[in-house]
Amino acid sequence: MRPEVDFRGLEKPKAWEYAVRFGFGGLVALIASVTGAALGDFAGGLALAFPAILPAALTLVKEHDGRQQASDDARGARLGSVGLTLFALTVLLLGPRGPWLTLPLALLVWAAVAIGTWMLIYGRR
């Protein structure tokens, strides 16, 4: 199995569905900021990995493509979350070197880990 690119997929969600994701995304950023101020930096970091968007995302996938596809979406999120942990560890390691090196490299690590594990698990099928 290989990942496929299909730009027609962009037409599938309605405008309000993008708006829902925008709203939830903004909300997580707010929660992380307030949590950091209220409970400290560690809690602020925890909140950056709070899966606030997934319930809405899974519900929309179920509405469009069915329950099995929603389940597959959650399976993919597992791999993304492994990448998320390695993203954070990269920031932890490279933080003192500044944002211009740290953040792009951490994003690269996230993509490499998430896509790499996907290729290992699903690429051989």
Partner 1 sequence: MPHLTFGRHRMRPVANGPAVRGLHGDVSMAELLLRFLLGGVAVSLFAAIAEVFKPKTFSGIFAAAPAVALVSLALLFGQRGGAVVREHALGMAWGGVSFLAYACACVFTTARTRLPVWIGAVVSWAVWFAVAAVGWVWVRPS
Scan residues 87-106 and list those touching partner 1 (CB under 8 A).
Answer: 87-89, 91-92, 95-99, 102-103, 106
Q: Is 86 exposed, middle or buried (0-12, 13-18, 19+ CB in 10 A)?
A: middle
DSSP 8-state secondary structure symbol assigned to residue 8? G
Least distance to partner 1, CB of residue 88, Å:
4
For residue 14, the SS3 value is coil
Count of positions on this chain that bind partner 1 (CB under 8 A): 88
Q: According to the binding rule CB under 8 A, does residue 112 interact with partner 1?
A: no
Least gap, CB of 68 to partner 1 (angstroms): 9
**Distance separating the N- and C-terminal Cα atoms of the chain:** 5
Residue pointed to by tokens 């939830």: 24
Site string for partner 1, 53-82 (x = CB under 8 A): xxxxxxx-xx--x-x-xxxxxxxxxxxxxx
Half-sphere exposure of 45 (CA within 13 A, CB side): 10
CB of 1 to partner 1, least distance (A): 7
Q: Which of 112, 120, 122, 124: binder of partner 1 (CB under 8 A)?
A: 122
What is the Cα 32 distance to its own chain's centre? 15
For residues 1-30, which are near partner 1 according to CB under 8 A? 1, 3-7, 9-10, 12-13, 18, 21-30
Can you tell me which of 14, 105, 107, 112 binds partner 1, judged by CB under 8 A?
Answer: 107
Residue 122's alpha-carbon distances to 35, 41, 65, 93, 125, in angstroms, are: 37, 37, 20, 30, 5
